[in-house]
Amino acid sequence: MNCIIIDDEEMARAIIEQFASQNKNLKLDAQFEDAIQAIKYLNQHHVDLIFLDIHMPTFSGFDLIQTLKDPPKIILTTSDRNFAIEAFEYECIVDYLVKPISKDRFDKAVNKAIAFQVPNNETSSASNNESKEDSENDLYVNIDRRLIKIDIPSIYLIEAKGDYILIKTSGQNYTVHSTLKKIEDKLPNDNFLKIHRSYIINIKKIIDIEDNSVLIEKDVIPVSRSNRPELMKRLNLL
Amino acid sequence: MKEQPNLSYINQLSGGDKEFETKLISIVKKELPEEIYTYNLNLKNKNFELAADNVHKLKHKISILGLELCYQLAIDYEDDLREQNLSRKNEFENVLQAMINFIEELK
């Protein structure tokens, strides 16, 4: 795997460089002290794996991930011992290493990245398409350090609640540390619509609409004036 | 007994590779005073969030120099700074001074 390092701290880069040079599965192509330089490089070069620091001035590691359309596999490097929850929100993150990094832990993380790569190369395109369709209906959320699968079509409402969102499905409700914007990006546009700054609904589950509110399952949800035209456009009106 | 800076982590990392060991020590000598300078500047200007970010960065150096107990102090101080609480300031800065004294003696 070819890899790059993004870390504003020279010490961290030197240690990862040393570990990478001792791992026969890795080829270190470049290293960057800030994320902006790295983005320019990533736009022009194929990279299999990034060792990415989270805390960098002006542009954090998470900012960088959100900037990339098709991010490669990422191993986070951090001095935080308690941030696993946020890391689980990104599919591209295969592991995270807490500084100071040990060689054993580094090699384990690289093995994980390799394991993530293998199925993509070995499975047929047909089964890839099948699994893609399946996975497109799944959303994994982190609750109490467990990744829980939610069937996306069963979701009828998502409500913003401060630093959390409440995901309501026909069978169960889930409170997740995330934002409406993040989950909106993960949901299919044809079924889900933000109708208010605090609510996203599944328009297939609407029961009726009255004035500036929507009845969905047993919940009455306000529709903001600015979102109403888009909602009306989506409906099959007689 | 009070914890003292040491090279055990660097020695362990280098696995006897003297060139790599020298490289790491020279990076600590260069980066540590710069990071402390930035931390002091932010604290002086009452930019507590930025000073907390500096402490976050300094935590790595603290662990590199084998100060495992002081690492926890740095975690607590980083959290305190984000709430503009300076109660652990002197204790933390004593650790920084011990680190500076230690690296100045390294050849």
Q: What is the pLDDT of residues A153-206, one digit of tens each?
A: 999 999 998 888 999 987 788 888 889 988 998 888 888 999 999 999 999 999
Q: Is residue B19 part of a domain?
A: no
Q: Is residue B16 part of a domain?
A: no
CA proximity to A11, closest of A81, A77, A74: A77
| Phi, psi torsion values for A3, nearest 5 degrees | -140, 165
What is the distance between the alpha carbons of residues A114 and B64, in angstroms, rounded to a whole number? 28
Q: Domain spans of chain A?
A: 2-122, 138-234
For A133, A164, A166, B74, the CA distances from A220, given in Å and listed in that order, are: 32, 20, 15, 48
- State the smallest CA–CA distance between residue B65 and chain A in angstroms: 10
8 Å CB contact of A15 and B24: yes
For A153, A170, A205, A231, A237, the CA distances from A209, given in Å and listed in that order, are: 20, 19, 11, 10, 12
| Residue A55 at interface with chain B, using a CB cutoff of 8 Å | yes
For A180, A189, A236, the CA distances from A55, given in Å and listed in that order, are: 24, 32, 48
Class of domain A2-122: alpha beta
Structural domain containing residue B70: 33-105
- Helix axes of A10-21 and B18-44: crossing angle, nearest 10 degrees: 150
CA proximity to B39, closest of B79, B87, B96: B96
Q: Which residues of B touch A12 (CB under 8 A)?
A: 60
pLDDT, residue A233, reads 87
B interface toward A at CB cutoff 8 Å? 9, 13, 20, 23-24, 27-28, 30-31, 53, 56-57, 59-61, 63-64, 75
| Residue A34 at interface with chain B, using a CB cutoff of 8 Å | no
- Within 10 angstroms of residue B4's Cβ, the number of other Cβ atoms is 12
Nearest C-alpha in A relative to B76: A80
Q: Which residues of B touch A80 (CB under 8 A)?
A: 56
8 Å CB contact of B31 and A9: yes
What is the distance between the alpha carbons of residues B47 and B51, in angstroms, rounded to a whole number? 6
Complete DSSP assignment for A14-36:
HHHHHHHHT-TT-EEEEEESSHH
What architecture (CATH level 2) is domain A138-234? Beta Barrel (2.40)
Burial B20-40 (b: 16+ CB within 10 A, else e): bbebbbebbeebbeebbebbe
B49-98 residue pLDDT tens? 999 999 999 999 999 999 988 998 999 999 999 999 999 999 999 999 99
User: How many structural domains comprise chain B?
Assistant: 1
Give ipTM to 2 decimals.
Answer: 0.90
- Within 10 angstroms of residue B64's Cβ, the number of other Cβ atoms is 25
Burial A46-84 (b: 16+ CB within 10 A, else e): ebbbbbbbbbbeebebbebbeeeeebbbbbbbbbbeeee
| Residue A21 at interface with chain B, using a CB cutoff of 8 Å | no
| Residue A105 at interface with chain B, using a CB cutoff of 8 Å | no
A54-79 residue pLDDT tens? 888 778 888 888 888 888 999 999 88
What is the distance between the alpha carbons of residues A106 and A96, in angstroms, rounded to a whole number? 9
The three-point CA angle A121-A24-B26 to 5° equals 130
Q: Is residue B94 part of a domain?
A: yes
β-pairing verdict for A206-210 and A213-216: antiparallel
DSSP B6: -
DSSP A59: S
Listed in sequence order, the residues at least 6 apart from A106 whose beta carbon sits closer than 8 Å to its beta carbon are A16, A19, A23, A97
A76-130 residue pLDDT tens? 998 876 665 566 678 888 888 988 899 999 999 999 999 887 554 444 444 445 4
Query: What global pTM score does this model have?
Result: 0.64
What is the distance between the alpha carbons of residues B68 and A131, in angstroms, rounded to a whole number? 46
Q: Is residue B51 part of a domain?
A: yes
